Amino acid sequence: MAEIPIRSFIASLFAIRRTQARHEVLLLKRTQTLIGAWCQVAGSIEEGETAWQTALRELDEETGLQPEALYSADTSEQFYEADRDAITIAPVFVAFIDSAATVSLNHEHSEYRWVSFEEAREMVAFGGQRRVLSWIEDEFIKRPPSKHLLIESV
């Protein structure tokens, strides 16, 4: 009996800011893998890093942003990769960003947009991203996030 491997080697982070009118999610337009797709911050976990440290490093590398607070989203993205014949599971994090902070993109992205949760769900390519966006809106925006999910080391 053959088995499909389950891999967990990336971390995913959704950056959120509050404006006077609403909460907004940062989406980045990719230039390398998934070219042209709108995505959240994500990247590979490096040797010796925790998943949350990866999320913070990738946020800084891809956007230049530093969070006011970092939370475990208490969920994961999961998807099948046909080229690897594997299921990938990525822990998800939520970073709250100062509304005055400036985004500085690296070479992995051509543009960025701060959008509503509804707009974000329309822009992303995958159902898993839409499910995570709805989860974050329910658990971090419509109600205060659990203090137990706060990552204190930030």
- DSSP conformational letter for 46: P
Q: What span, in angstroms and rounded, lies between the C-alpha atoms of 144 and 138?
A: 9
Q: Which two three-digit tokens encode residue 68?
A: 């006011």
State percent of the chain over pLDDT 70.
99
Domain regions of the chain by residue span: 6-149
CATH of 6-149, one of 3.40.50.10800, 3.40.50.800, 3.90.79.10, 3.40.630.30: 3.90.79.10
Nearest to 90 by CA among 70, 107, 67, 73: 73
Strands 69-81 and 86-97: antiparallel
Per-residue pLDDT reduced to its tens digit, 42-94:
999 999 999 999 999 999 999 999 999 999 999 999 999 999 999 999 999 99
Phi first, then psi, for residue 100 (nearest 5°) are: -90, -5
- Would you say residue 110 has pLDDT above 70? yes
Q: Which two three-digit tokens encode residue 147?
A: 């203090």
**Quick one: residue 137, left, alpha or beta (phi over 0 = left, psi -120 to 50 = alpha)?**
alpha
Q: What span, in angstroms and rounded, lies between the C-alpha atoms of 81 and 102?
A: 34
